[in-house]
Each structure stands twice: as structure tokens, then as C-alpha cells.
């Protein structure tokens, strides 16, 4: 402890951390506010808002599944070949010739299923507890878009093995898009990369799965966390200021 106390007074520590050591409620808040990462989170949460019986940890589980999908997905990209007919055989070689290949692919697949379920349950909990009401209605819209992106991530990943299941899933999905009013035909051509299912279709779905949709999810999740902080933290059945909990910025420093 003596060495740490000396280190806090050094120029190196002060050049990294602009605030004092977070040993008081006020300093803890300032550390969060002045951090490029931590400022996305609320500076303080009421105890009732983090009870397992209230949140069930569904938002955190959704984020955990996304992190697992990111790690395993990057690993799978080293072996997957997004070309016809190499896509199917590369997946088969991954399962049979790569150490832990089948394990990584199954973890990626089950994490995708778990993320869809976790996000859906999270939205159900938010709706059931009325957490979508003002001032959180904008964050509810972001959550709905995130759910749609989650479903699209799962669907596009389902097509990448390029087997019979993937082929007919593309056929059904593109025909559903075709019946959209006015722009249906153009949307179908954009999804297929032409008039028929072919190599252009696979590369488009692969690009959407590994680049476009993950980037959109990351940006919207950052906005989602930031809005939670701006909207007063995790919503609770009781208003934040009626439970006797005060803002730590107003507490005197010790």
C-alpha cells in the first residue's frame, strides 16, 4: 500500500489519470465521466435496479453472447472460404481436419441461438416493466433495431455453409423480399446480386454477416449503453429520487 500511495503522486500516474484516486464517491464519479469507455455506463445505480429478480441479467447475457460470437467468428474466418463451391467443403474440412474446429463452429452456432433468445427475453422484460416509457422511448427504438440486426446476423450466418438448407433459405427469404410493395423486385436483386442465386449472392451475404451487420450492432450497442446513462440509469419501478438515494456529485469530498 505504501508503494501504491507513492505511485499515485508520481508524474506518470497523473499523466494517465487526470483525477484523484477513486477513494471517495465524488472521485469515483469523475473517473467514470472522464473515461472514454467508462462514461458509457451510469455513474451510479440503485440497488433495486441490479437485482437478478428484476433484470435477470439479460442485457449482459446478450452482450456476452455477442462477444463470444465475435471471437469465434474471427477464428472461423481463418478457415472459411466464401466462394462456390468451396464454402461447403471448407466447413466440412473445418469440422474434420482442424483441431477444435467442430467445437468452435458449434459454439458459434449455439451462441447465435442464445443471443436471439436473450435479446428477445430482454425486450420482453423491458416491455413488461414499462422501461420503454419516457424518457427511454428512443432507447427502446434502438433496442428494437438491435433485435432486428440480431435476427439478420443469425439468418445471414445460417446461409454461409452453402448447403441445401442455405440454398432454400435464400430462396424463401428473397421471395419474401420480392413481395414488398414498389421496391420488392429491386430488393430481391440486391440480395441475390442478380436474377438468380449464385456466387454474388454468397459474397453479399458473407459481407453483410462479417462487416456490415456487426459494425451496425457495435455502434448501436454503444448508443444503447450511452442512452441508459443519459436517461438516468437502469429503469426501476420507483423513481430514482424517491428512494432516498442522492447524486454522489453533491456529496462532500472526504
pLDDT band of residue 230 (cuts 50, 70, 90) is confident
pLDDT of residue 228: 85
38-75, pLDDT tens digit by residue?
Answer: 776 666 777 777 778 888 999 999 999 999 999 999 99
Which of the given ranges, 2-16, 209-223, 232-246, has the highest pLDDT on average? 209-223
127-178, pLDDT tens digit by residue?
Answer: 998 888 888 899 999 999 999 999 999 999 999 999 999 999 999 999 999 9
Residue 248, CA atoms < 13 Å, CB-side half-sphere: 18
- The boundaries of every CATH 1.20.810.10 domain in the chain are 56-235
pLDDT of residue 239: 54
pLDDT of residue 236: 66
pLDDT of residue 223: 92
89-105, pLDDT tens digit by residue?
Answer: 999 999 999 999 999 99
**CB contact set of 212 (below 8 Å; sequence gap of 6+):** none
**CB contact set of 249 (below 8 Å; sequence gap of 6+):** 26, 29, 43
Average pLDDT, the chain: 86
Is 32 strand, coil or helix?
A: helix
What is the architecture of the domain spanning 56-235? Up-down Bundle (1.20)
Taking 3-state DSSP, the helix, strand and coil percentages for the chain, each rounded to the nearest 5, stand at 70, 0, 30
Query: Quick one: DSSP state of residue 42?
Result: -
182-212, pLDDT tens digit by residue?
Answer: 899 999 999 999 888 999 999 999 999 999 9
Assess whether pLDDT exceeds 50 at residue 252.
no
Can you tell me the distance from the alpha carbon of 194 to that of 202, in angstroms, rounded to the nearest whole number?
Answer: 12
Can you tell me the distance from the alpha carbon of 227 to that of 37, in angstroms, rounded to the nearest whole number?
Answer: 14
Q: Measured between alpha carbons, how far is residue 98 from residues 1, 31, 80, 224 in Å?
A: 48, 45, 12, 38
Assess whether pLDDT exceeds 50 at residue 251.
no
User: Average pLDDT for residues 216-222, to the nearest whole number?
Assistant: 96
Residue 204 near residue 191 (C-beta atoms within 8 A):
yes
Cα 82 from chain centre: 24
Query: pTM of this prediction?
Result: 0.81
Can you tell me the distance from the alpha carbon of 107 to that of 101, in angstroms, rounded to the nearest whole number?
Answer: 10
- Going through the chain in order, the beta strands assigned E by DSSP cover none
pLDDT of residue 237: 57
Can you tell me the distance from the alpha carbon of 151 to that of 239, in angstroms, rounded to the nearest whole number?
Answer: 33
Amino acid at each position: 500500500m505504501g508503494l501504491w500511495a507513492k505511485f499515485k503522486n508520481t508524474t506518470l500516474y497523473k499523466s494517465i489519470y487526470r483525477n484523484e484516486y477513486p477513494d471517495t464517491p465524488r472521485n469515483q464519479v469523475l473517473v467514470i465521466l472522464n473515461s472514454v469507455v467508462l462514461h458509457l455506463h451510469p455513474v451510479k445505480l440503485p440497488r433495486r435496479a441490479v437485482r437478478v429478480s428484476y433484470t435477470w441479467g439479460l442485457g449482459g447475457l446478450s452482450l456476452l453472447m455477442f462477444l463470444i460470437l465475435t471471437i469465434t467468428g474471427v477464428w472461423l474466418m481463418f478457415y472459411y472460404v466464401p466462394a462456390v463451391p468451396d464454402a461447403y467443403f471448407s466447413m466440412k474440412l473445418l469440422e474434420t481436419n482442424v483441431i477444435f474446429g467442430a467445437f468452435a463452429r458449434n459454439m458459434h452456432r449455439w451462441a447465435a441461438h442464445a443471443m436471439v433468445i436473450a435479446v428477445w427475453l430482454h425486450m420482453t422484460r423491458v416491455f413488461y416493466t414499462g422501461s420503454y416509457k419516457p424518457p427511454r422511448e428512443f432507447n427502446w427504438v434502438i433496442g428494437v433495431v438491435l433485435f432486428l440486426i440480431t435476427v439478420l446476423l443469425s439468418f445471414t450466418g445460417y446461409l454461409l455453409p452453402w448447403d441445401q438448407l442455405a440454398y432454400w433459405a435464400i430462396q424463401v427469404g428473397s421471395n419474401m423480399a420480392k413481395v414488398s410493395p414498389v421496391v420488392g423486385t429491386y430488393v430481391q436483386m440486391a440480395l441475390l446480386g442478380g436474377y438468380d442465386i449464385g456466387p454474388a449472392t454468397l459474397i453479399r451475404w458473407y459481407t453483410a454477416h462479417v462487416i456490415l451487420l456487426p459494425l451496425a450492432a457495435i455502434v448501436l450497442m454503444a448508443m444503447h449503453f450511452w442512452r441508459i446513462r443519459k436517461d438516468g440509469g437502469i429503469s426501476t419501478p420507483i423513481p430514482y429520487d424517491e428512494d432516498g438515494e442522492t447524486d454522489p456529485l453533491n456529496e462532500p469530498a472526504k
